[in-house]
Each structure stands twice: as structure tokens, then as C-alpha cells.
Amino acid sequence: MMRKALTVLAPLALGLALSACQQKDKAPEAPASTAPDAKPGVAVADARLVLPAVKGNPGVAYFTLANSDTKAVALAAVAVDGVGKAEMHQTVGGKMGPVDRVDIDPNASVSFAPGGLHVMLFDLDPKLTAGSTAELTLTFADGDKLSTQMPIQAAGEAAMNGMDHGSGH
């Protein structure tokens, strides 16, 4: 009786084991997104990460943030994948210092650009290389977030933006 039961159960057990193995090999189905929607009425443009000229120094991120909403918004934090720490800074009168938040009025935009507001990037992962991209995530005072991919540029490339050095040199 036991032998007969094993004859019937052995193929069933083998089939279950193989089925379980096949289930492990399958990629898990992606769960429904629980991330918040992008901040309504706010858009990011011209984002770029500029690598430092000297390895180990901080990099910098520039972008324009436009608010087409009817209410003001406040940018509270910035994060970049592959960066240990990102800080909003502003240069005023030749002196640079950190900024806790940036308010953007309704139907207005703010530029993070050389010589003004910018984001200092510390502890850059060596995998961040010119020609690739990194994800920029902006967090607003109300907790909403907005993310975008930004191209990564070498320091010299960023300085040459917009200049034509064709056959004239």
C-alpha cells in the first residue's frame, strides 16, 4: 500500500517542486505604484549635473523650476541618485551660502544657474560619468515630489555650452 501511495505521490511532489522552481525564476510582478504623482502645476526644465573639474570636489546641479499653479510652492529639498548629499545654495555678493527653501510664486519660475541659486553635490559616486544621466528628485514643503532625468556633463563641457568651436579654431 505504501509503495502504491509513493508511486502516485512521487510524480506529484516532483511536479510541485519543479513548479516552485519555475515560479522563483520568474520576475516578480511589479506592484502598483505607491509613489506620489508629480507636483501638479510645477515643471522642471534644462536640468544638468556638472561634474567637478577635480575628482573628489563637489559637483553642481542646475535647472529651471516653473510654477504654473495658482498657489505659491516651496522647494524644500533636492536629491540626486548617486550623490551622498545635495544642498541648495545661493551666491549673493560673491559669497555662497546654503538655502533652506526656495519659494516660487504662482505663474513664475526660478532658475538654478551659475552665479545664483544652485545645488551643491557632495560625495559623488564614481559611476556618475559625463554622457550618462542621473535622477533629480525635488521635494516640496507639502511633501509632494517631482523627479526628472538630467544629463551629466564634464566641467569643461559645461563651460563650453553654447559656444561654437568649429573650423574657426
Q: Look at residue 163 and tell me whether its pLDDT is greater than 50.
A: no
Question: pLDDT of 69-113, one tens digit each?
Answer: 999 999 999 999 999 999 999 999 999 999 999 999 999 999 999
pLDDT value, residue 97: 95
115 in a structural domain: yes
Distance from C-alpha of 70 to C-alpha of 107, rounded to nearest angstrom: 7
84 in a structural domain: yes
Question: pLDDT of 11-69, one tens digit each?
Answer: 434 343 333 343 334 333 333 333 345 688 999 999 999 999 999 999 999 999 999 99
Domain that holds residue 127: 42-159
Give how many domains the chain has, as a whole number: 1
**The three cell numbers locating residue 140:** 516640496
The mean per-residue pLDDT over the stretch 136-154 comes to 96
Distance from C-alpha of 90 to C-alpha of 158, rounded to nearest angstrom: 19
The mean per-residue pLDDT over the stretch 113-122 comes to 97
Q: Which CATH number does the domain housing residue 90 bear?
A: 2.60.40.1890
Nearest of 144, 157, 150 to residue 81 by alpha carbon: 150
Q: Look at residue 7 and tell me whether its pLDDT is greater than 80.
A: no
Q: Look at residue 144 and tell me whether its pLDDT is greater than 60.
A: yes
Distance from C-alpha of 47 to C-alpha of 131, rounded to nearest angstrom: 14
Q: Within its chain, how far is the Cα of 131 from the centroid?
A: 15
Instruction: Specify which residues 60 forms β-bridges with.
Output: 50, 120
User: Would you call 142 helix, strand, or coil by DSSP?
Assistant: coil
Distance from C-alpha of 23 to C-alpha of 26, rounded to nearest angstrom: 5
Strand 95-98 with 117-124, pairing: unpaired
Task: Give the model's confidence band at 133: pLDDT under 50 very low, under 70 low, under 90 confident, else very high.
Answer: very high
110 in a structural domain: yes
Q: What's the pTM?
A: 0.72
Nearest of 164, 134, 141 to residue 63 by alpha carbon: 134
More confident residue, 157 or 65: 65
165 in a structural domain: no
Size of the chain, expressed as the number of residues it contains? 169
